[in-house]
Amino acid sequence: MKELMNYFQLPSSDLFLANYSNYYSKLDNLLTDNVVFKKTILKYHMETSTGKFITILSIILLFSIIFYHIILEIGVLLKIWSHPTADVFVYKPVHCAHVYINLNFIKRKSLIDHKIDFGNISNEKNLNKLYNVFYKDKSSSSLKLLKKPLKYHIEFAPDDYNEKDPELGTTLKFLRNKIMQLFYESKFYNNDEFSNNIGPKKLKIDLKDIKIFHKKEEVPIEKDNEPLCLVDINTGNTADAIILI
């Protein structure tokens, strides 16, 4: 056995124990001389050999656990491996309970005059123009027909949730329909102010004419069947809605 250890240049058990005792002694001296251990309640843990052993072992275990979790989280963030509890604690988004909507109107002719084509919204130039219309350029914001938008607070009851997956709550399509319903029921639509300043009295609106913007980006109609929480519209968020007329 000794010949085998010598061949692989492995330390003997006596040498290993000697090295272990040497490292333990150094750590013992380091902790004993440390101000934290001298002037706090921890000094009582270093008065006996048993207390020293338990204290040193606890410190080694503590730093080992901290080091393990640091390496684990770095690996998870870099997607090198998955978290050990990923199969047990499965992440599921929280459904959206209520949202705030700022509703305004834009005439299609105004968009044509500004060479903005809603049918080709994926075009980068159009996206920049839309960004200016809704959020940035004050001159472009004149395209909006209302100086102050109509404000709605929409709450979702369990009956409004998606039947396929009620745990994820309401879909984007339901929100579009709700905006259209609230608009038709509003006093604003049913008085002369709308017909005089916005459009015809019996204006027919299609769902595709309702554009919803959140975090300064449009939430496209292609995602209408997805729950709000999966398109990043969460409880208490404020979204902008534009109706094209």
CATH class as words, domain 98-244: alpha beta
pLDDT at position 212 over 60: yes
Measure the CA angle with vertex 190, ends 186 and 192; round to 5°: 130
User: What's the pLDDT score for residue 218?
Assistant: 82
pLDDT at position 199 over 70: no
Pairing of strands 217-218, 238-244: unpaired
Those residues whose C-beta lies under 8 Å from the C-beta of residue 177, and which sit 6 or more positions away, are 207
Q: Where are the domains of the chain?
A: 2-77, 98-244
Residue 2's pLDDT band, with cuts at 50, 70 and 90, is very low
Q: 102 φ, ψ to 5°? A: -105, 110
Residue 236's pLDDT band, with cuts at 50, 70 and 90, is very high
User: What's the pLDDT score for residue 242?
Assistant: 86
- Please state, rounded to an integer, the average pLDDT across all residues of the chain: 75
Length of the chain: 245
Closest CA to 119 of 38, 208, 245, 55: 208
Tokens 């058990």, located at residue: 13
Residue 234 token pair:
């969460």
Strand order of the sheet with strand 98-106? Answer: 150-155, 98-106, 238-244, 210-214, 217-218
